[in-house]
Amino acid sequence: MRHTVVERELELRLVLSPERSVPVPARLAYRSDDPYAVHITFHIDSAHPVDWTFARDLLVEGVFRPCGDGDVRMWPAKADGRAVVLMALSSPDGDALLQAPVPQVSAWLERTLRAVPPGTEGARLGIDDALDHLLAR
């Protein structure tokens, strides 16, 4: 099965306070061989980039309404008159609140949804083929 990768470089904003934020270059990545997940790599001032992986459905929903529990929460908002999706990320290393521009995120999400339409993700995992192979022995 042929695998598709959908990537997008964009600039997010790390919210430090209601009055202050700093730019954070990031890469959104989606792979059809991992069809339920999206991957975000943050290029911050450290030796290694910071990677986060969470459900594609969570990001799709977060563009429209608050969602998520625990380590990853999202909700739509306005910042300087622009539509953004806020991402609250928590880990043992700390917490971060990031703003992502909705137009760019939505356009990227549309590309992922064309690559693997909702409801067809399971077929991409090859579980049925693997079971058939195991049971044929």
| CA 94 to chain CA mean position, Å | 19
Cα(76)–Cα(53) distance, integer angstroms: 19
- Tell me which range, 44-48, 58-62, 127-131, is most confidently predicted by mean pLDDT: 58-62
Quote the mean pLDDT of the chain.
90
Tens-digit pLDDT profile for residues 48-100 = 888 999 999 999 999 999 999 999 999 999 998 999 999 999 999 889 999 99
* Residue 63 confidence (pLDDT): 97
77-86 — which CB contacts under 8 Å span 24+ positions? 79/13, 84/13, 85/59, 86/15
122 pLDDT higher than 90: no
DSSP H helices in the chain: 56-62, 102-115, 121-124, 127-135
Q: What is the pTM of this model?
A: 0.85
Contact present, 79 and 70 (Cβ < 8 Å): no
